[in-house]
Amino acid sequence: MIAEIVSIGDEILIGQIVNTNAVFIAKELNKIGIEVGQITSISDRKEHIESCLDDAQKRAQVIILTGGLGPTKDDLTKHTLCSYFDDVLVKNEIVLERIEEMFAKYVPTPINDENRKQALLPSKAKVLNNLHGTASGMWFEVDDRVIISLPGVPFEMKTLVSNEVIPALQKHYTRPYIIHKTLLTYGLGESVIAERIEHWENELPEDIKLAYLPNLGRVRLRLSGKGPNQILLNQRIDACGSNSDWSIRNK
């Protein structure tokens, strides 16, 4: 199963912030057996969001968007999704009540109409409850695909992913296990290691992949596998790792 992550916001494209949201989401998806095939950053423009959705649906079953759900005019994601799915915005009384309670308890300024508009949500979306902000998450289903829209504020997004998105995906799809194991090497360059373990690398099973991750003075070798049996997959990757250690040492 393949997922794509779409990060929406000009602040990413001009280098004003680092896209930590995509890193967090990718890690959480991997933990439940969903492989991320692509991460894309786009601007807050309707045509870019629509084009990205068109392309992502050709490749992925799960598409997660972050950003653009705030109450200001530059936040276009909710309205774009509403148009994209030929939908209308409807007032969600439960969300409105939660927003009003949040302002009464934690915000010194009175709630205004722009904040109340955050309770207007596409009628076709399943609402994902945001405990820390006014922007609700949204879950759309299109055939066998799921499109999820989340706020870009990191601590709001993380809570939604942990409490709402991951449990819902686990119920919605049957998924394999994805396991990564890392071997640390020191004092040898990437090309030297590749030469020493060439035979071993060529003999790896087709479903176990090797990646070289070089850094100053060391190289990490990451073995990754995917399969339906977690115990067996762990055993197979461990066995491959033991053989690689022998290959590096005995050259």
Q: Which of 20, 60, 18 is nearest to 38 (CA)?
A: 60
**What pLDDT was estimated at residue 58?**
96
Q: Which residues of the chain have pLDDT under 70?
A: 244-251
174 phi/psi in degrees, rounded to 5: -90, 125
Q: What are phi and psi of 170, to 5 degrees?
A: -65, -35
* Predicted TM-score (pTM) above 0.85: yes
Residue 56's Cβ-count burial label (10 Å; 0-12, 13-18, 19+) is: buried
Give the per-residue pLDDT at 248: 66
Q: Are 140 and 125 in contact (CB under 8 A)?
A: yes
What is the predicted pLDDT for the residue at 73? 86
The β-bridge relationship of strands 145-150 and 137-142 is: antiparallel
Class of domain 177-249: alpha beta
Predicted confidence at residue 109, as pLDDT, reads: 87
- For domain 2-172, the CATH class is alpha beta
The residue to which tokens 């991997």 are assigned: 30
What are the domain boundaries of the chain? 2-172, 177-249
Tokens found for residue 51: 């084009």
